[in-house]
Amino acid sequence: MEDEGNDGLTVADNVIHEPEGYKSIGLASAGAFSTTGGLAASVHTVMACAARPVGDGGDYFTAWVANDTLHVGLNGVTGTTAVTGYPLTFGVGSTLASATIGVLDVCESYGKIFFVVRGYKQTAGLTTSASKTMTGYMDY
């Protein structure tokens, strides 16, 4: 790296200048959600979403809050579940006012995607918040 009079900013020699485009995530379509936890008979608003790239084929591991529930899945699609209680329902009992995915970290090992995720929601009264967390894996 060299400083070429950039007032403290340095110029890296191997910066990737060409963006690689972007990959779409199918969260906007009702068909992208499993009815076991995401959008049921009617479309629910996705309040929060976060994604991390996995593999080298343009896939993303995603986490999102919709229908008062925290979900995870590949490219916005949940799979089947072997875990009792998934997806995780916040169940605070009031209208969902806001939500965020506070933590999402992903890694790959021996054919599995391992993830940690934490979602938060706040009610319409702005006095109640709740969080849900998952640490798990799925086949990839």
Task: Candidates 30, 40, 79, 91: give the one binding other proteins (CB under 8 A).
Answer: 79
Q: Which stretch binds other proteins (CB under 8 A): 40-48, 76-84, 92-100, 120-128?
A: 76-84
19 binds other proteins per the rule CB under 8 A: yes
- Amino acid at position 26, single letter: G
The residue from 64, 104, 120, 121 that contacts other proteins (CB under 8 A) is 104
CA nearest neighbour of 64 among 88, 92, 43: 88
In sequence order, the 6+-apart residues with CB closer than 8 A to the CB of 116 are 103, 104, 105, 133, 134, 135
The nearer residue to other proteins, 39 or 104, going by C-beta atoms, is 104
Q: Is 56 exposed, middle or buried (0-12, 13-18, 19+ CB in 10 A)?
A: exposed
Shortest approach of other proteins to residue 37 CB, angstroms? 11
Place of tokens 């979403």: 49
Residue where the block lists tokens 């959600």: 33
Closer residue to other proteins (CB): 24 or 45: 24
Interface with other proteins, residue 36, by CB under 8 A: no
Q: Residue 24 interacts with other proteins (CB under 8 A)?
A: yes
